[in-house]
Structure 1
Amino acid sequence: MSDTAVLALDWGTTRLRAFRMSEDGTILERRDAPAGIRAIEDGDFEDAFHTVVGDWLTAAAEPAPLIVLGGMIGSRQGWFEAPYVPCPANPENLADHAIAAKTESGHALWIAPGLSLSEESRADVMRGEELQIFGALDQLGPGKHLLCLPGTHSKWALLDDGIIRDFRTYMTGELFDVLRRHSILGTTIEHAVWSDAGFAKGLAAGRSEAGLLAHLFTVRAGTLLETLPVEESGAFLSGLLIGSEVASATRDLAKGSEVCIIGNPDLTDLYTPALSQHGIRCRQLGEYTGAHGLFRLATGLRKRR
């Protein structure tokens, strides 16, 4: 594999996505394993690392490829803890603060830092999403862009000429899971059923000025009073949460504005109708921008070697 210049590992909470990349950033091969940091027993990240990319390392020619890791693997619960870089931040700032590490088998690694934001009234962090954002820079071009990265903890970030100026986290995905599994709302939800009609009703409720907390109990009361069909209740809850998130994140956005979305289409497609009901255009940037963000980081790290 003499064409392998970079091994990029986007190592999150639930999954490990690995990319073998050429000198110009072309993805030569990708792998996706259910080996996120929560799935690693006894913190044996070394074993997981070699299981997923060990053969790539063995087959790689000299000089050895640059190995860069990003995401939750650099968190306090991960393999090697990397610091947070305060916003505003650009790709060069990430490269300057990446930490060097070495596996027990002697392979040199670079671990990407996360981003932080601290103000008098709020604090926020991200780890991994910044690489997805910086990996989309070529698609985005110069200027100001508002980006949405849906997920367990959805991120909304303001990008200005390649600099992340601000961001905010919405615990939409985690809240949905907690409410349907561990609250009284879950007893009235048919978990295996999806309803487009129920989702649309939830989006509409999410726009209400009454707010999210005033509508959550509708999931239970509506099914008991038969104003909300039980087969629509789960999708209604999803729409309510996403609708509330989008309403908050776009409160000051003018109609006709554009939001760029990064992520798996199965999830990002749910945000398109939520945005359109506010008159906002949606531009989807794809799922694997994190690999390109890691390559951009690798390019900056070469100046430190």
Structure 2
Amino acid sequence: MKLLDDIIDMASDNKEPIGSLLRKCLVLERQLRNEKFRAWLDKELDGYDRDNEEEFPAYRVFNCINKGDFYGLTVRMQSHPFSLLVLSPEHRKMMERVHLHQPAASYEARPNQDSDAHLPWNQALVVKYSRLIFEGGEPALMRAWQDIPGSVLVALLEQVRTRVLRFALDLRDSLPEDASSASVVPAADIDRSVVQIFYGGNNLIATNTAHASQVVQQSVNQNDLGSLIHALKELGITDEGVDELRKSIEHKTADTKADNARTWAADIGKYIGKEGVRMGVEVAKRTALHWLSQYLGIPL
């Protein structure tokens, strides 16, 4: 069936725009007449209702790091992560998690897929807590935002493509060879597949995605090898991979460290263990490079 073959080809190729893939799926839904499938497509195409957090799938929600610019009489700190303990419970709940509500295509349209994204605080909140973050009110918070690692957004897009691909493959396997329309598949089979793949039925995907979001939002301190190694192991990097990285960056000049770090990240696929975070090699590479940049204090 040509429509299914086209969808499978588009979902398998990251060069095809995610919006085009989802609109192609709308054509398929007209044959299937499955409301659950249509609802998922509409949300991915049009965006999720930010006031209805229960609708968000796990790959669109993660605990974030909040950062800010602080200024005092003798101290200036920029892009400094800070604790939310001084915030009221209501504000803390609001700022400790990010719900990515925009259409999937909007995250693909970013000019630089490697760059992190930011959600700025409402300035009224900044003013309210400006003198409360640090004891004595110095330095004062002047600007704040929720930090969104670029790898989280890449993972979101990969999740959408993978779910569409799995559904299309399952559907093709259910079709007779000479079928010209997907409408011949029993409605109960379609509904079961939709629930399993796009909603809560696929516990493995939901669990891995939630864990992945927790992992990639971690921050590594400059020159703190311990925090770097801990983050990489959470990512699923094997002991062999950690040892190789340690050898390549310890007791080296700054330029050599940077070059060796890039080389190591390029080969990261062979260092990801079977029980590691199943977010894809490309996302793991971006995440590792982000942490290595923080550790070395230079962009990579």
Q: Give the TM-score range, shorter chain.
A: under 0.3
Of structures 1 and 2, the larger Rg is shown by 2
Instruction: Specify which structure has the higher proportion of strand.
Output: 1
Relative CO higher for 1 or 2, CA cutoff 8 Å, sep ≥ 6? 2
Instruction: Specify which structure has the higher proportion of helix.
Output: 2
How high is the TM-score relative to the length of structure 1? 0.27
How high is the TM-score relative to the length of structure 2? 0.28
